[in-house]
Each structure stands twice: as C-alpha cells, then as structure tokens.
Structure 1
C-alpha cells in the first residue's frame, strides 16, 4: 500500500478512496460555501455527495436538483461549497433527511415554500436547526420558544407539534430504499456532531469509517486492522464495509 491516511495510518490507493468517498480536496469557499479556507477539522468532516445521499435518503440526482435555484433559491446549498464539487456538512445531512422525510409525505413545492419561509424569518439559522413535520396541506415548524408555526398554507400562524427524534431514526423512502439511523448508520459505527464534526466513525473512537473500509478493501484482515487500531472492533470493521457498500450502490433510475 502507498500513501498515508488521517492520523498517519496506512492508506489505500487513490482510486479506492474516491470510490468510498474518503478523499476530500482542499476548498477555498465557492458557491454556497462558507467563503473561507476550511480548517483541518472541517476538511475531516466533509461529506461527499454520495455519502450525503447514502445517509440522507436523497439520490445524487435529487441533491443536484435541490442545489439549483428554481425561483425561491436552492432547497439546500452544501455548507462547504459546490466548486470544484459539492461537499456537505453533518448538519447539511440532517437537513437533507428532514427534506427527504417531508418529500415522502408532501410535494416538493410545499417543501421549497416552507424552506423559503424559514429563510425569511430565521435567515441566520441552518435548516438542520429547525424541527419540521408535514401536517396535511401544510408543513409546521416547532420554534425554539415551543410554538408550532404553519410555514406553507398560513405562514406565521400556529400549527401542531413535531418531534426531531423522527428525523434521525431509520426510515424507508417513497421508492422503497432503506435509510439508516443517522446516529448508528451501521453496526459498530456511530455519528455524533461533537465527534469529527459529525462524520461517520467506528463506535467509541474518532477513526473515520472510510479509513477502516479502505484497509479492509485493500486486503487487510480483521486481525491486522485491529493490530493497527486496537480500539476498532470486528463489528466496526463489518459496519465500515457495510456503509462503504451503501455509499457505492448504483443510483435508482428515477429521482
């Protein structure tokens, strides 16, 4: 094997890192990005489009469409920019899961109207900060003050309760694809926004899932990987491979 991975660990070849979404180039801002050179910590927490799609339930084609301005602005622009390629943050993925769940129950037009309203009334808050739920012909928003506000039919009027916990739980998309729990995307893995900025890691460690998946796909056995990373379990290795496989699955024919 050649090259080194995060923390000085052995790395797989460059094509493999691209395949499982581990390689993330340096960014200097870009369309919809933060406009600054990311810190190393930020770079280590960037989600590629395929990883964001796998853990949000959206397709790559949907993400591309949702980045477009269709009159009311993009549904969601990646926090780390779109040039030379789209790179998402953990909270972007949370926001995307919100949109996917809403899209399962209501029209994309309503979702866009709801998001546009939130941008107007709370322009400094990321979409992931909001708790939203489809309620018949509208979408309601639970504010920080505990109020339930209509965001579509009668923007600003009182609505009904919504529970954020639902956004993080596993669910099935309208076309039948299973989206994993965002806190435990695979057995032996975990996601915590306070650990590596919310990037998937082996449970109980700060080791990125793709570091372990790369080693396993490069031919190292479980014992060899554990020798390199004593805190990694066999479940963590299997989970890393499972998530890498999910990220690498072909896209559905229809978005």
Structure 2
C-alpha cells in the first residue's frame, strides 16, 4: 500500500510523511477491513488524487472511508465519488485499534520524546532538545551513568553553527560519522 520515500531496501527507512500515511492506515483499519482500506486508496487514485497519502484527510464513517477536503467529504468505498457528511478525527493523536490497544500520539509518544517535522526532519528527539532519542536510549542500555548522559545533552543543546548556512543537525559528538553513537563522557563536540 505504501512505498517508502527514503529507502525501499533493507534497512527500510520511512520519511515523516510515510509515518503519517502509515498511521492513517492504522486509524482506518480500526473500523474497516484491509480490503476496504485498499479499495478506498484505489478509488482515491481513480478520482485523480495521486499525491502522497499523507496529503489527504481520510476518515472512517459508518463503515465507509471518506476523503475530506475543502469542507467537503467524498465517499471512497460505499458510493465512490459521492459527497457525504463525515465526522473529523485526529490521526496524529492517540488511537485505539481494533484489539483495544492504545497507540500513542505520533508527535508526543511519551513524556520524554517528541516528534516535530521542523526539528531534525521529524526524527524523534528528547523533549525540548535536538538530541536524538536513540542516542540517549543507547547510552542507558550501555550502562552509561546518568550524569554523563545529562552532560552530553547539555553540550548538544549549547552547540550553534559557526558559519552561515550550517545546520545544527550537522553537528555530532566524539568524531562520529560512521553511524555509531558518540563516545561518552569526555567526547568533545566537533563538526562533521
């Protein structure tokens, strides 16, 4: 149903738009069968809508799936192309799926992690920082003392690009560049 924008080969990498599209499918799946979801996506394309799935607002409505745009709702399953009334829902918020499993909100999956397309292109970070969440989680898993992790986060937050056109996302710690987590606790911050 969805071809990843970043990488189709292993490891498969999804863009932020892909993640929003996948959440939309999970949201639709709570009230509709996979066949109905596929049918709605096919009918969406038949209506001439060929953009990325994340561009569209799709909602489940009385057993059908509806496209909402410009204050109009268009049925995609029961009566494809017909205008209908629909109730809006938030796909980015928490979702309870068909098995009553709570799926956390996309932009704030827990108190310490946030996802914002404007911060590191939607990469999960420690709340209120630009520090990648997986760096901190990896340090904890490796048994690094909490004080060293805090020092690392504080140094990361103080970094500022020195030249015009530089992006803070180009800064790394400890000579990183091969995809490994930076060294702690004494790693100096350097520009990659």
Q: Same fold per TM (> 0.5)?
A: yes
Asked whether 1:141 is paired with 2:44, we answer: no
- Verify the 8 A CA contact 2:75 2:84 in the aligned structure 1: yes
Deviation at 1:192, TM superposition (A): 0.8
For residues 86 and 138 of structure 2, the distance between their equivalents in structure 1, rounded to whole angstroms, comes to: 43
- Alignment partner, residue 35 of structure 1: none
- Verify the 8 A CA contact 2:61 2:87 in the aligned structure 1: no
1:221 corresponds to which of 136, 139, 145: 145
List, as ranges, runs of 4+ consecutive aligned residues in structure 1 with deviation greater than 3 Å: none
- Alignment partner, residue 129 of structure 1: 55
Deviation at 1:231, TM superposition (A): 7.1
Q: Deviations over 1:30-81 (max 9, x none)?
A: xxxxxxxxxxxxxxxxxxxxxxxxxxxxxxxxxxxxxxxxxxxxx1111123
Q: TM-score, normalised by structure 2?
A: 0.74
Structure with the higher strand share, 1 or 2: 2
With CA pairs under 8 Å and 6+ residues apart, which has the higher RCO, 1 or 2? 1
Relative distance call for 1:88 and 1:116 in structure 2 (3 A) is same
Over aligned residues, Cα RMSD in angstroms? 2.0
Unaligned runs of 5+ residues in structure 2 are 157-192
Deviation at 1:197, TM superposition (A): 1.6
For residues 222 and 172 of structure 1, the distance between their equivalents in structure 2, rounded to whole angstroms, comes to: 34
Unaligned runs of 5+ residues in structure 1 are 1-74, 233-255
Structure with the higher helix share, 1 or 2: 1
Asked whether 1:113 is paired with 2:39, we answer: yes
Deviation at 1:175, TM superposition (A): 2.2
- Alignment partner, residue 199 of structure 1: 123
- Alignment partner, residue 85 of structure 2: 160
- Verify the 8 A CA contact 1:172 1:179 in the aligned structure 2: yes
Q: TM-score, normalised by structure 1?
A: 0.57
Structure 2 counterparts to residues 1-255 of structure 1, below 5 A? 75-120=1-46, 121-123=48-50, 125-143=51-69, 145-163=70-88, 166-230=90-154
Structure having the higher Rg: 2
